[in-house]
């Protein structure tokens, strides 16, 4: 934890908490606080600045609102990486600085061609029956859109009637609906010890308690799931069986079958996030195929087709009988459905085969970029499969993760620290996530990977002082 003590410039025109947040902004952007730095506790900083704890709480909340820091109960507050800061960081720019290669955000590049986009929009504009896209409330999604969703799920081997599918405004919306439907405030939800960052704030919002489950080189450990279920009342297990985020590990069929057997033995719900399922064409069964009676299956088009296509599909389990009705009620409570106009575009690309072609292209490109990463980075330690859009890079013992992230940024590449993915109070491994599919060209990726390779070859002791 840093001994940060800001230089406060008193300003009678603004509250003290705003002044503290502005000082935090200044120290971050002038290099005095590196990405990943753990900030003092509210009480410790209040003592240093001789103010009340409530003022510091409001200051940290304002800094979080600006996108400067992340906070997690039990772990503290941390300086966010520049690549993860949002629009409210002003006056900082809301994009990756020029010259810095973005390997932090997982936004696989590519998608429908400019011609395909123009044609789809022109055809849509020429339609005479557009009323259904602009009027009424379609809580589950329009029938034609659900039918397209059923065809998209069938691409992954998940067979479902359209009347059981819900249209969501992306994967995060689908996940929120699934967790709100299957659990209650106070319920325990198991998750991989390193998991998708969007799960943690969502669980806090719903009042559900996340419990971390051990990972090894092959993914989530079934025996650890079993031990957790035997030791406490568990409601659900959230898991990404294919190309897990952040480790990029794909579970074997044997482990998938073990998870299903454990879920049935302890009567827990499975929440299967198959957002990255498109990278796998090996025919591995989804959990929804193995246990349709207890699996909430979700996927989206933002990774597989286009990052701006905020359309997701949620298939609730077959049991209990009223689960679909309750899921629709959750949709209305959380944010209604996806915009029909956007979902119409998704439907057109699914029906025309554009979505299938784009997903196949992204799958092939992901494999090519994995090979490029291993060639440029050399001998690396990673559990990641060679078909993923991202790479989990385990660092040499000489490196502190946050120092490596800061040093890589100086060299020209933005990556994500392991800290962001930790569930609960466990310590973060010495590793970073490298998003290989985000750069638009291989030349840009090569630039970023070369910066990482140079950083790995350098010594932490030779890092320049931050003044």
pLDDT confidence tier of residue 92, bands split at 50, 70 and 90: very low
Mean pLDDT score across all residues of the chain: 90
Residues 367 and 316 in one domain: no
Stretch 203-215: mean pLDDT = 94
| Segment 81-103 mean pLDDT | 54
The alpha carbon of 177 is separated from its chain's Cα centroid by a whole number of angstroms, namely 16
**CA–CA separation, 42 vs 56, rounded Å?**
6
Residues 198 and 146 in one domain: yes
* Model pLDDT for residues 29-85, shown as the tens digit of each residue: 777 888 888 899 999 999 999 899 888 988 888 888 777 887 765 678 888 766 454
Do 332 and 215 share a structural domain? yes
Percent of the chain residues past pLDDT 90, beyond the cut: 68
Query: Is 132 domain-assigned?
Result: yes
Query: Do residues 168 and 184 both lie within one domain?
Result: yes
Q: Compute the distance between CA of residue 289 and CA of residue 210 in angstroms, rounded to an integer.
A: 25
CATH label of the domain that carries residue 303? 3.40.640.10
Q: Do 119 and 255 reside in the same domain of the chain?
A: yes
Last residue of a domain, one of 316, 336, 352: 352
Phi first, then psi: what are they for 29, rounded to 5°? Answer: -80, -10
Q: Does pTM surpass 0.75? A: yes
- 174: which 2 tokens? 């689908």
Domain total in the chain: 3
CA nearest to 286, candidates 308, 271, 303, 300: 271
Q: Point out the domain boundary residue: 335, 352, 369.
A: 352
Residue 89 lies in a domain: no
Same domain, 187 and 242: yes
Shared-domain flag, residues 46 and 128: no
Residue 295 pLDDT > 50: yes
Beta-strand runs (E) in 274-409: 295-300, 312-315, 390-394
Same domain, 368 and 448: yes
Evaluate whether 407 touches 442 at the Cβ level (below 8 Å): no
Share of the chain above pLDDT 70, in %: 92
For residue 82, what pLDDT is reported?
61
**Is residue 197 included in any domain, yes or no?**
yes
Tens of pLDDT, residue by residue over 55-67, are 898 888 888 877 7
DSSP-derived secondary structure for 195-214: --TTHHHHHHHHTPEEEEE-
Residue 4 lies in a domain: no
Q: Any idea what the CATH number is for the domain that residue 37 is in?
A: 1.10.10.10
439 against 1, higher pLDDT: 439
Q: Tell me, yes or no, whether 8 lies in a domain.
A: no
Q: What share of the chain is helix, strand, coil (3-state, %, to 5)?
A: 45, 15, 40
pLDDT for res 15: 83
Q: Give the H or E element holding residue 174.
A: helix 171-182
Query: Of 352, 384, 411, which residue sits at a domain end?
Result: 352
Is 46 among the domain residues? yes
For the domain that residue 374 is a member of, what is the CATH number?
3.90.1150.10
Do 244 and 340 lie in a common domain?
Answer: yes
Token code pair at residue 183: 């659990």
Both 67 and 156 in one domain: the answer is no
Phi, psi of 253 (to 5 degrees): -60, -40
Domain encompassing residue 61: 16-81
pLDDT given for residue 88 in this prediction: 33
Phi, psi of 74 (to 5 degrees): 90, -15
Task: Please report whether residue 242 resides in a domain.
Answer: yes
Is residue 348 domain-shared with residue 369, that is, in the same domain? no
Together in a domain, 288 and 217? yes
DSSP string across 36-58: TPBPPPHHHHHHHHTS-HHHHHH
pLDDT of residue 98: 65
Residue 26: per-residue pLDDT:
81
Mapped onto helix, strand or coil, the DSSP state of residue 400 is coil
Residue 416 domain flag? yes
Span 118-173, pLDDT tens digits: 999 999 988 888 877 887 778 899 999 999 999 999 999 999 999 999 999 999 99
DSSP alpha helix (H) spans, 87-142: 114-126, 131-134
Instruction: Name the pLDDT band for 91 (thresholds 50, 70, 90).
Output: very low
The answer, yes or no, to whether residue 103 has pLDDT greater than 60, is yes
Q: What is the pLDDT of residue 10?
A: 66
Distance CA 390, CA 408 (A): 17
């Amino acid at each position: 934890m840093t001994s940060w003590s800001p230089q406060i410039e008193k300003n009678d025109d603004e509250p003290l908490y705003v002044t503290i947040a502005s000082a935090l902004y200044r120290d971050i952007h002038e290099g005095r606080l590196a990405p990943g730095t753990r900030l003092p506790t509210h009480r410790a900083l209040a003592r240093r600045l001789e103010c009340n704890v409530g003022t510091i709480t409001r200051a940290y909340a304002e800094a979080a609102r600006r996108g400067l820091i992340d906070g997690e109960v039990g772990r503290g507050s941390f300086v966010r990486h520049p690549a993860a800061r949002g629009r409210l960081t002003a006056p900082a720019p809301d994009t990756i600085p020029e010259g810095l290669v973005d390997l932090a955000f997982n936004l696989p590049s590519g998608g429908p061609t400019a011609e395909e986009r123009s044609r789809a929009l022109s055809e849509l504009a020429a339609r005479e029956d557009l009323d259904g896209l602009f009027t009424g409330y379609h809580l589950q999604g329009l029938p034609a859109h659900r039918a397209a969703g059923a065809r998209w799920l069938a691409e992954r081997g998940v067979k479902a009637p359209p009347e059981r599918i819900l249209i969501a405004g992306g994967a995060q919306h689908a996940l929120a609906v699934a967790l709100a439907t299957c659990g209650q405030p106070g319920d325990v939800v198991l998750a991989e010890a390193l998991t998708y960052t969007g799960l943690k704030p969502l669980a806090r919002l719903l009042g559900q308690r996340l419990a971390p489950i051990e990972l090894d080189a092959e993914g989530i450990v079934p025996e650890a799931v079993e031990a957790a279920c035997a030791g406490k009342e568990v409601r659900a297990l959230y898991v990404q069986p294919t190309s897990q985020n952040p480790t990029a590990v794909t579970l074997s069929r044997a482990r998938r079958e073990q998870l299903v057997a454990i879920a049935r033995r302890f009567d827990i719900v499975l929440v299967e996030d198959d957002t990255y399922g498109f990278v796998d064409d090996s025919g591995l069964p989804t959990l929804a195929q193995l246990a349709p009676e207890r699996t909430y299956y979700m996927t989206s088009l933002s990774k597989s087709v286009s990052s701006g296509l905020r359309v997701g599909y949620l298939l609730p389990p077959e049991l209990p009988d009223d689960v679909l009705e309750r899921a629709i009620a959750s949709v209305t409570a959380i944010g209604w459905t996806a915009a029909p106009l956007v979902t119409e575009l998704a439907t057109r690309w699914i029906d025309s085969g554009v979505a299938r072609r784009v997903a196949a292209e992204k799958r092939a490109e992901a494999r090519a970029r994995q090979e490029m990463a291993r060639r440029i980075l050399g001998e690396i330690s990673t559990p990641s499969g060679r078909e993923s859009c991202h790479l989990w890079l385990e660092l040499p013992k000489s490196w502190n993760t946050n120092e490596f992230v800061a040093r890589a940024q100086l060299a020209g590449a933005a990556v994500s620290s392991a800290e962001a993915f930790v569930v609960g109070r466990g310590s973060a491994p010495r590793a970073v996530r490298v998003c290989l599919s985000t750069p638009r060209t291989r030349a840009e990726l090569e630039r970023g990977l070369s910066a990482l390779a140079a950083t790995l070859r350098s010594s932490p002791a030779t890092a320049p002082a931050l003044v």
